[in-house]
Amino acid sequence: MTVIVRDLRAGVPADVEGFVRVRRAALPFMVSTPESVVHDLTRTRPDARFRLLVAEADGEIAGTAQVGLVHDSPEPGQGSLNVYVHPAHRGRGAGSRLTRAGEEHLAAHGATRLFTWVLDEPDDRGFAERRGYRASRSAHFLRLDLANGSLPPLQDPPTGVELRTAADFADDPRPLFELDAEVTADEPGDIGAEFTDYEAWLEETWRHPLLDLDLTSVAVVEGRPVAFTAARTDGAARYSTGMTGTARAHRGRGLAKLVKNVSLHRARAAGHREAFTGNDTGNGPMLAVNKWFGYEICATEVRHARELDRPRPARGRRPRQGRPDEDPLPRRAAP
């Protein structure tokens, strides 16, 4: 079997459909569509050095890789590399070739530390560890049966709190950007994030084809959004929570439960049959919230990190100062 690694061609439907097919087979807990893949590839900021790679085995796409610099982190030199191989093609070299190509790309653009997610399975963890990656944290995928399960009853919002949708902010989404930036800064993880570029957020998050503005529920106090749950859907049966959070000044009031419950009820009424989300294994409060809704853990991923040698400046040239590359990788839907 001959394996070739190359860039995904956004304008070739067979490429995009093959990419989605592999991702769904290898990681069925994440919502993905051809439109979302093309959007990620074509709308991510150029300084992210973002690439989608495919491993082609005898003319068939057998594996994929999502590669880029972590642009919204205040710490420079961090890269993300997530590799997935179709279960029918594992053990044939596709994953190794994708990993090597991704590492070379990131190192060439100044990355000194790489992060990757792998499923918490012996083969997957062994694959990462043999290549010098070491486990740093873990996160759960959770699934809720919307079609056959039961949801908590809808509740009236507290006094002074109004429920809206993201569609109500279509003319001016900046208040949602500001809330998203505050919530993201407090999200557990091994890479800090700072949202400062409103235009990039509009392009990569607000206009993302998976984001459902009507199902994204927002709690508003005195005209300002203070809590939200971002809903992503595939336009068919699958629903996913992109982010749920509350402004610091309004935490402890049950607003995260409130907005998420409203969104899930609307999703079920719209015909969605499965709901997915993800939580860091150490995020006890959100795990408790999702257990209250009826979510069950369906898989666990382990984050691994690898340090790269810092590149030496060429003789006769001054080393480049400051941040070598700012990038943005679109945030994962979950975890």
Task: Give residue-wise pLDDT tens across range 180-225.
Answer: 999 988 876 676 666 788 999 999 999 999 999 999 999 999 999 9
Average confidence score pLDDT of the chain:
89
Pairwise CA distance, residues 25 & 94, whole Å? 15
Number of domains in the chain: 2
Residue 333 covered by a domain: no
Residues 229 and 275 in one domain: yes
Residue 114 covered by a domain: yes
Residues 166 and 293 in one domain: yes
Residues 241 and 116 in one domain: no
Residues 122 and 164 in one domain: no
Residue 60 covered by a domain: yes
Is the per-residue pLDDT at 162 higher than 90?
yes
Q: Are 69 and 103 in contact (CB under 8 A)?
A: no
Residues 111 and 248 in one domain: no
Q: 33: burial class by Cβ within 10 Å (0-12, 13-18, 19+)?
A: buried
Residue 201 covered by a domain: yes
pLDDT value at residue 76: 86
**238-253 average pLDDT score:** 94
Residue 179 covered by a domain: yes
Is the per-residue pLDDT at 146 higher than 50?
yes
Q: pLDDT per residue over 16-27, tens digit each? A: 999 999 999 999
Residues 153 and 289 in one domain: yes
Residues 18 and 161 in one domain: no
The one-letter code for the residue type at 268 is: R
Sequence-distant (6+) residues with CB within 8 A of 144 are 264, 274, 275, 276, 277, 290, 293, 294, 295, 296
Domain hosting residue 67, numbered range: 3-139+301-307
What is the pLDDT confidence band of residue 165, given thresholds at 50, 70 and 90?
Answer: very high
Residues 45 and 148 in one domain: no
Sequence-distant (6+) residues with CB within 8 A of 109 are 49, 69, 79, 324, 325
Is the per-residue pLDDT at 334 higher than 50?
no
Residues 267 and 153 in one domain: yes
- Kindly state the DSSP code that residue 211 receives in the 8-state scheme: B
**139-152 average pLDDT score:** 96
pLDDT value at residue 193: 63
Pairwise CA distance, residues 263 & 265, whole Å? 5
Is the per-residue pLDDT at 321 higher than 80?
no
Instruction: Average the pLDDT over each of 132-136, 140-144, 178-182, 325-329 and give the range with the smallest value.
Output: 325-329
Instruction: Average the pLDDT over each of 36-50, 71-85, 243-257 and give the range with the smallest value.
Output: 71-85
| Residue 221 belongs to domain with CATH number | 3.40.630.30
